[in-house]
Chains A and B, each alone.
Chain A
Amino acid sequence: MTARVDRVLRDMGLAQAGDLTVIAAGSPPGQPGSTNSLKVHRVGDQDD
């Protein structure tokens, strides 16, 4: 998922390599209010 977000943001020119992002996700989906994962991700890093 991180790799997808990374690619979308870069493809659309919304972020460039080196930018710091916080990725919030609910996992598994299907449970409302389930933001249970937060990931600090540097755009361009292959850290998935």
Chain B
Amino acid sequence: MDVRQLRYFLAVVDHEGFNRAAEHLLIAQPSLSQTIKALEQEVGVPLFHRVGRRAVLSQAGKELVGPARVVVRDLDVAKSAIDALKGVRSGRLDLTAMPSPGIEPLTSMIATYTRLHPSVTVSVGAAFTTEDVVASVRNGTSEIGILGSDKPFRAPDVDVMQLERQPLVLIINPHADVFGRRDAIERADLGGHRVVASQRGSLMRWLVDDILASGISVEIAVEVAHRTSILPLVLAGVGHAVMPSSWAPLARQSGLRVVGIKPTSVLYVAVLSRQADLTPSARAFLGVAADYAASHARRLSRLRPVKQVFALTPSQAAMNVMTLAWGIQPLQVPFVAHPMA
């Protein structure tokens, strides 16, 4: 007895006859009859009573219907599980992200990814240091890591895709906004001001400490581990905050003012992945990330520019995507420490 025989048997039951079952199965009727006959010989009893042109289930046939459906359905489930492994039709994507890159660019990339692959469940774990992100990718806890560091990140045995730079900005306490209408302030302008700072170890805290070390008297009003507490504390008038620009849209939506800090410090955002054996869902995410890195040029490309467009990027992933963007000539340039300065 094999699953093909059982499928044919169920088709005859469901379509109430050999002719319509054969039509449905896209096979010739005699070959269907032969298959059922072989099955009947094997079990030793007739499964159908032939009544004129109709086929009526025998008692043995009725007994077989339930178990046959179970076998066929289980096999279908097993097959779809294997199919899912071969393609990104369903499944799961495990990411680990640090807090600031976890806001942007991660949100934009996940929005694109879930639109392209709606059946994949994305799980984002938290890490607070670059070491933790690297460890989670190396030990397989997550397939993709997203981190920010004070210089272009490098690590052996993992693939690193440079994504973007986020300048650190000042989110201004509305109760102490003495900075006028300027787009950017100098570090020295922070003298005498109270700030809400994260705990030691983050780039934004490092900048505050660096400003302090240069002799400018900034007062740390609150030191808080939860990044999500910082904007509410600024809103409550506790102090200003130094944060990567990924927080700026949220801050502006809350009615807060955001300005640059000169000289500019930047957070380098990178996507990490294992070097081999990525699942299709993880490979698809790397594609979305590369598109993100090249998104500026891709938008220009869509306008079908008649003038030559040169796109400067330090990111190899962005280079690869832009090579195929209409009208764009990508140029790879080295990272610079202070691109905004």
Chain A residues in contact with chain B, CB under 8 A?
1, 4-5, 8-9, 12, 14, 22, 24, 26-33, 35
List residues of chain A with CB within 8 A of the CB of B260. 28
Chain B residues in contact with chain A, CB under 8 A?
104-105, 108, 164-167, 169, 244-246, 248-249, 260, 269, 292, 295-296, 299-300, 307-308, 310, 312, 329, 331, 333, 336, 339-340
The CA of A32 and the CA of B164, in the complex, are separated in Å by: 10
Instruction: Given the known inter-chain contacts A8-B333, A29-B245, A31-B104, please indicate yes or no for A1 contacting B340, CB distance below 8 A.
Output: yes
Nearest-CB distance from B185 to chain A (Å)? Answer: 14
Instruction: Given the known inter-chain contacts A1-B340, A26-B296, please indicate yes or no for A31 contacting B312, CB distance below 8 A.
Output: no
Output the residue of A5, A14, A29 with the most chain B CB within 10 A. A29
Say yes or no: B339 contacts A1, CB within 8 Å: yes
Say yes or no: A30 contacts B245, CB within 8 Å: yes
List residues of chain B with CB within 8 A of the CB of A33. 295, 299
Say yes or no: A32 contacts B105, CB within 8 Å: yes
- CB contacts between A and B, total, < 8 Å: 59
Say yes or no: A30 contacts B104, CB within 8 Å: yes
List residues of chain B with CB within 8 A of the CB of A22. 307
List residues of chain B with CB within 8 A of the CB of A12. 331
With beta carbons under 8 angstroms apart, the residue of A1, A14, A30 that contacts B269 is A30
**Which single residue of chain A is at the shortest CB-CB distance from B311?**
A24
List residues of chain B with CB within 8 A of the CB of A27. 340
The CA of A26 and the CA of B108, in the complex, are separated in Å by: 16
The CA of A22 and the CA of B308, in the complex, are separated in Å by: 10
Instruction: Given the known inter-chain contacts A1-B339, A4-B336, A9-B310, please indicate yes or no for A30 contacting B331, CB distance below 8 A.
Output: no
